[in-house]
Amino acid sequence: MQQQLDPAWVARVVQVALDEDLGPAPGRDVTSQATIPPDAVGTAHLVARAEGVVAGLVVVQEVVDQVAQRLGTDGVTVSLTVEDGARVWRDEVLAVLVGPVQTLLVAERTMLNLASRASGVATHTRRWADVLDGSGAQVLDTRKTTPGLRALEKYAVRCGGGTNKRMGLYDVAMVKDNHVVAAGSVAAAVRAVQERFPDVDIQVEADTLDQALEAVAAGARFLLLDNMPTPLLAEVVAAVRAGEPTTGRVELEATGNLTLDRAAEVAGTGVDYLSVGGLTHSSPILDLALDLQAS
């Protein structure tokens, strides 16, 4: 099972989302609280409206718990029928929720927003992972995430069979073209990071064969091969691999202008990773619904 979400992070995100939907705590749902007796108890099914890969189901219990606390109602029992990362089919029941109907309906949109978003990312990621299966290459995400939801979206990438790159600016140094301009050269930029933050890994972006070889010579052991047509990408991979008996292993990532149609071709050049910002910035949601069952 993939690394789980931090419960404290989940609690904070759910609190913000509920404040957004209900107003500042405790908040209110004027429709549900006016039409449904507080002691009415019911059952609801969380259902997939389309085929895909689910993620974010781990937030459902936190959402209903916080709503119950805000409304002062009894708790809701959540029984998941599938786990995050599972492939699901249209009309499949993902969870059964039993508890106060007010609580179920007040919690509905927040749980669906989070789980649908995460499941959309997981479903998109799985398409890439399936295309790359057996190639030796993995699909990576980027920092192009929804502000405030990065941990959830990167968790969803893992649920879909992808790999997280870096979580933020703090855990990996990534020397890109603007850093090279500011520092004066690739070597100068790499050296500056090594001197200031010797404990972090360094990745270097390269647009040409010469830049890639310069980065390796400067000590970089992870290269982002940016926007390269397939023949150039293959040439760079071959050149870097030829030097590995001397340099040691260099991880290679293709990035920029990647599509599912090109994925197998790009993986065939021998890169280790394909970096796809669209996993998190352009995935449509997976349509999920909460269906209250007739009593």
- Is 154 a catalytic site residue? no
Do 123 and 153 contact (CB within 8 A), yes or no? no
Which one of 65, 92, 143, 176 is the catalytic residue? 176
Longest C-alpha distance within the chain, in Å?
74
**pLDDT digits over 61-114, tens only?**
999 999 999 999 999 999 999 999 999 999 999 999 999 999 999 999 999 999
Arithmetic mean of pLDDT, 6-23? 97
Catalytic residue among 62, 205, 214, 272: 205
Give the model confidence (pLDDT) of 122-148 as tens digits: 999 999 999 999 999 999 999 999 999
CATH label, 130-282, candidates 2.70.180.20, 3.20.20.70, 3.30.56.10, 3.90.1010.10: 3.20.20.70
- Given a cut of 70, is residue 223 above it in pLDDT? yes
Which of 62, 153, 226, 253 does the annotation list as catalytic? 226
Lowest mean pLDDT among 2-11, 222-231, 273-282: 2-11
Band of residue 1 on the pLDDT scale cut at 50, 70, 90: very low
- For 171-190, what is each residue's pLDDT tens digit? 999 999 999 999 999 999 99
- Using the predicted structure, report yes or no on whether residue 2 has a pLDDT greater than 70: no
CB–CB of 222/240 below 8 Å? no
Sorting pLDDT into bands at 50, 70 and 90, what band is 50? very high
pLDDT tens-place string over residues 234-279: 999 999 999 999 999 999 999 998 999 999 999 999 999 999 999 9
Catalytic site residue from 144, 191, 221, 241: 144
CB under 8 Å to 194, separation ≥6 — which residues? Answer: 202, 219
Would you list the domain boundaries of the chain?
Answer: 7-123+283-293, 130-282
Percent of the chain with pLDDT over 90: 97
CA dist., res. 71 & res. 182, Å (int)? 55
Q: Residue 205 catalytic? A: yes
Cα(261)–Cα(285) distance, rounded to whole angstroms? 21
Q: How far apart are CA 235 and CA 209, in angstroms?
A: 8
Report the percentage of the chain scoring pLDDT > 70.
99
Residue 124 CA, chain-centre distance (Å), reads 10
Q: How far apart are CA 274 and CA 260, in angstroms?
A: 11
CATH code at 7-123+283-293: 3.90.1170.20
- In angstroms and rounded to an integer, the radius of gyration of the C-alpha atoms of the chain is 23
Please say if 144 is a catalytic residue.
yes
Given this model, what pLDDT does residue 289 score?
A: 98
DSSP readout, the chain? -PPPPPHHHHHHHHHHHHHHHH-STT---HHHHHHS-TT-EEEEEEEESS-EE---GGGHHHHHHHHHHHHTPPP-EEEESS-TT-EE-TT-EEEEEEEEHHHHHHHHHHHHHHHHHHHHHHHHHHHHHHHHTTSS-EEE--S---TT-HHHHHHHHHHTT-B---SSTTTEEEE-HHHHHHHSSHHHHHHHHHHH-TTSEEEEEESSHHHHHHHHHTT--EEEEES--HHHHHHHHHHHHHHHHHH---EEEEESS--HHHHHHHHTTT-SEEE-THHHHSPPPP-EEEEEPP-
165 is catalytic: no
Of the candidates 109, 191, 221, 262, the residue annotated as catalytic is 109
